[in-house]
């Protein structure tokens, strides 16, 4: 049984001592759908938005968290695989902060037949700790430049699209975007053909003249 209403929660309220990404971003498989011809299962999609469902496992650094609550699953709805921040530590776990975090409590039945409260977490994006204030500043600059609704994430994909059109090799684009591998870059941008890039060019034709009448904008790259 689950409550049918998600609510916003602060990252610091859920992870007061920080959170660390364990492993990579994984697609959530749809076990209710029929298997493909090769026996594999399709990825789950949100029925309302049609966006694909992704999941990460996070280690809660709170010493008071119980053993059961140390590893937490956080999901994303996104067209392409979310990219975690770069791990600049000597440890195998990546420090991470979640933006747009929401929670949904539900009752989990234990093997003893009793119920206990569990939590389903979802986030809009993830960044390196401490970058949230910078991301907010970049959003304000975008509005001042007449680019309301255009996020650094949108500009990131535009840059990748233009790089593909310009003939940049996949390794160069991988390094530019900070992807873990060239294979990830190919999975995301292999479908960029001229028809798609025409749409990007049309968007630029609309927004670039507006930018020319404003002060230069500093946009922080992020997912």
Residue-wise pLDDT for 177-198, tens only, equals: 667 777 777 777 766 644 554 5
Q: Which residues contact 196 (CB under 8 A, 6 or more apart)?
A: 161
Least confident of 15-19, 23-27, 62-66, 141-145: 141-145
| Residue from 171, 194, 167, 169 nearest 184 by CA | 171
* 101 and 63 inside one domain: yes
Could you give the number of structural domains in the chain?
2
* 101 and 22 inside one domain: yes
* 53 and 67 inside one domain: yes
pLDDT of residue 132: 66
221 in a domain, yes or no?
A: no
pLDDT of residue 81: 94
Least confident of 14-23, 30-39, 111-120, 157-166: 157-166
pTM for the complete prediction? 0.54
2 in a domain, yes or no?
A: no
pLDDT of residue 1: 43
* 33 and 123 inside one domain: yes
219 in a domain, yes or no?
A: no
- 200 or 29, which is more confident: 29
Range of the domain at 182: 135-212
């Amino acid at each position: 049984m689950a409550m049918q209403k998600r609510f916003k929660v602060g990252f610091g309220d859920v992870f007061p001592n920080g959170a660390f990404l364990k492993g990579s971003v994984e697609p959530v498989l749809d076990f209710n759908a029929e298997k493909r011809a090769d026996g594999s299962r399709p990825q789950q999609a949100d029925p309302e938005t049609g966006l694909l469902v992704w999941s990460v496992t996070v280690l809660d650094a709170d010493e008071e968290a119980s053993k059961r609550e140390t590893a937490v699953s956080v999901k994303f709805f996104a067209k392409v695989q979310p990219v975690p921040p770069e791990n600049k530590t000597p440890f195998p776990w990546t420090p991470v902060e979640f933006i747009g975090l929401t929670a949904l409590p539900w009752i989990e039945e234990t093997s003893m037949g009793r119920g206990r409260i569990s939590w389903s977490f979802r986030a809009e994006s993830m960044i390196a700790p401490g970058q949230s204030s910078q991301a907010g500043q970049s959003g304000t600059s975008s509005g001042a430049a007449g680019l309301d609704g255009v996020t650094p994430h949108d500009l990131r994909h535009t840059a990748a699209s233009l790089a593909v059109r310009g003939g940049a090799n996949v390794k160069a684009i991988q390094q530019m975007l900070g992807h873990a591998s060239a294979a990830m870059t190919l999975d995301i941008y292999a479908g960029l053909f001229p028809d798609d890039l025409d749409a990007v060019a049309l968007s630029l034709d609309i927004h670039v003249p507006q930018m020319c009448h404003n002060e230069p904008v500093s946009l922080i790259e992020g997912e």
